[in-house]
A = this chain, B = another copy of it.
């Protein structure tokens, strides 16, 4: 088995896409796919896919291709989807609401067990079958249910204090929608960031520079 600790983030970030794509094929009734076809449909080279999968021991046979259902299962296992990491959402605002309703946590390795907020308007409302609880009860909740992951959908103003509180209780895994760099202060925390502002700014850059590539006059005007 290769050393997993050396697997690069770019390989890891491609795995969910393989997983999603193979599950879709599986649902569509495809049982086997050649590495050429898989690569064409994923927009990667066959050798790239082979290299990625080889990081985890390799799958598929030369000249035979990949068994779709089996490979999806193996990749799911590598990702750890059989886990049921107990998850709590902090913040029942727009984003908290969206992920509570939208995400199929159970299919993705997690189990949503609670939603907390400190806004009296939100406490007691029901999101996707779960009642929003008052943040003051979280310490008791933690002792009883020991949640393992916190999805952070709270405003910048409250985030630092909330993370300090959660980290103090023992939570080390965060799905972070706020603009607070958790890893800077807590280097042993496992953090996956979803920075929507950064994503939109990246798109803005891409559009701006895509336009410029086509319009040399505008390019010159903006240059120093």
A-to-B contact residues, CB < 8 Å: 1, 4-5, 12-13, 15-17, 19-20, 41-43, 57, 77-81, 83, 85, 93-95, 97-99, 101-105, 108-110, 148-149, 173, 175, 179, 181, 183-184, 190, 192, 194-210, 212-213, 222-224
Contacts and interface: CB of A to CB of B under 8 A. Distances in A.
A137 B13 CA distance: 38
A4 to B, nearest CB: 6
Nearest to A13: B202
Question: How many chain copies?
Answer: 2
Contacts of A109: 200-201, 204, 207-208
Contacts of A99: 196
Contacts of A192: 199-200, 202-203, 206
A197 B20 contact: yes
A174 to B, nearest CB: 8
A144 B203 CA distance: 24
A192 B199 CA distance: 7
Contact of A204 (B80, B97, B104, B199): B80
A223 B212 CA distance: 50
Given A5-B213, A101-B94, A206-B192, A200 B183 contact: no
A205 B83 CA distance: 10
19 contacts: A4-B212, A16-B195, A16-B201, A17-B198, A43-B184, A80-B204, A80-B205, A80-B209, A81-B204, A97-B97, A102-B196, A103-B197, A108-B200, A109-B200, A110-B200, A110-B204, A192-B203, A194-B194, A194-B199
